[in-house]
Amino acid sequence: MRTSINKNGSDASGLNLPPHGLQDSPRRTSIKGLGIFILICILGAGLLYIDQNTSPRPAWEWKPQPFDPPVQYAFIPEDPKCPSRPPDSTEEETKPPLIACNEWRLHANFKLGKGRHDIGVPFGVGCGGRRGGVSVSDDDCTSDIQLFDAASQVQLSDGKQRSGALRITRDGHRIAYLSKKYMQFVGWDLPTAQQKAISPRVDAQALEDLSSLEISPDGKFFAVSFAGTQPRLLVTEFATGRTTTLQGFCAILGISQGASRIAAQRTCSDPNEADTVTILKRDGTVISEWRGTDSIENLSPDGKSIVEIQTDFGDDGDEYLATRNALTEKLTKKLKLHLLSEPSDAVGHAWLTNDEYIVEAETPEPGGSFGYYRVNVKSGSSRRIRDLGLNPGSTVSLGSVLARD
């Protein structure tokens, strides 16, 4: 259903890309003398007419270029310039869908002079110094690259705003987001500069219904889900660009390697109804279904386990990391979290491997963080991922987090 974006100006999926230029093929003629003179005049007038085309042209048009360094994480700054509320407007033409803000930044690490870094977006580079409490060499560099095409906030039809998700594969080489340029979700392979559509163009209603955005750990499959009156899950194979639409599923709880298993939900709107966890194949075949809880987090890369962050609301306020068999719902482990000696709130982020899950220790006060930890789901041992920093942004999406760990 989806195809790769054609850099010559269009593709079969309906992306309207601007043409690279006009081409003229004047007929050759054997007219001599006056006829040749008249022909030259006509052609000259035609070229002059083309040159006087006053249609506006963009001052700068972004075109992806190959980018080899893995993205360690993406973030929205702690002090975003994006307003929390849309500006008042009485202009009738101001209608949603509207990309209100595009403040996503990609944080990448690389060695100076190694690999291709021309991502097609201007960015600064910082090399040497100390990072994560460790001295690094002068050719050890980092960059924070603002991705102008990625929506970080979207205005809805009722005047409200919602955040725009961005996802990264664990190797840091593929990302997915809502494109401001095309008004649809795209997947992007950074080293090859290849982009593909993973959804149709979205309108105001689709943005209202948007529920989840995910990528399989190996980057082979991308998924977008929508709730609302027509819940559906779109699964796109990146290699072929083909999309499968699975009706009746409104949210994604995770995708395994190769999308051999997908954890999804059928109900997303009724807070009084227990969430049903459905494990299915990528063709829509249901292989297991069971009643879940509101603490369900993500499906493991091998598709065998689902992780939960459970909180004991007693006097001690203990928190636990629990895993369940994805097919049987059976509790396999329940481990008390020991992230810090001081009080903190555990927030799950993503699987690092089949044996480790990344948990953030948030401060009791809103907006703070004590850092990110890799927790072994079999033993409960934890270790801080120091190179991520304590609080890299107001919103963070993790990629190749162990770039220097």
Residue 340 included in any domain: no
Q: Structural domain of residue 195, as residue ranges?
A: 71-302
Residue 250 included in any domain: yes
Cα–Cα dist 189/65, whole Å: 10
Residue 268 included in any domain: yes
**Would you state the structure tokens that stand for residue 197, as one six-digit string?**
């559509």
Residue 193 included in any domain: yes
Cα–Cα dist 313/41, whole Å: 86
**Could you give the dihedral angle defined by the CA atoms of residues 393, 252, 208 and 181, in that order, rounded to the nearest 10 degrees?**
60
Domains identified in the chain, total number = 1
pLDDT (tens, 9 = 90+) of the chain, 405 residues, equals: 433 333 333 333 444 333 323 233 334 434 344 444 444 444 444 433 333 333 333 444 678 889 999 999 999 998 777 765 544 544 444 565 688 899 999 999 988 888 898 888 888 888 888 776 678 888 889 999 999 999 999 988 767 788 899 999 999 999 999 999 999 999 999 999 999 999 999 988 898 999 999 999 999 999 999 999 999 999 999 999 999 999 999 999 999 999 999 999 998 866 556 578 999 999 999 999 998 877 888 999 999 999 999 887 555 678 999 999 999 999 999 999 988 777 788 999 999 999 999 999 998 887 788 999 999 999 999 999 988 888 899 899 999 998 654
Residue 264 · residue 233 · CB < 8 Å:
yes
From residue 343, give the alpha-carbon distance in Å to each of 131, 362, 381, 384, 390: 26, 9, 18, 16, 15
Residue 370 included in any domain: no
In angstroms, how far is the first alpha carbon of the chain from the final one? 40
Residue 205 included in any domain: yes
Place of tokens 């995910």: 214
pTM of the predicted structure, to 2 decimals: 0.80
Residue 57 included in any domain: no
Cα–Cα dist 177/167, whole Å: 7
Residue 55 included in any domain: no
* 355 CB neighbour count, 10 Å cutoff: 15
* 82 CB neighbour count, 10 Å cutoff: 14
Cα–Cα dist 341/114, whole Å: 41
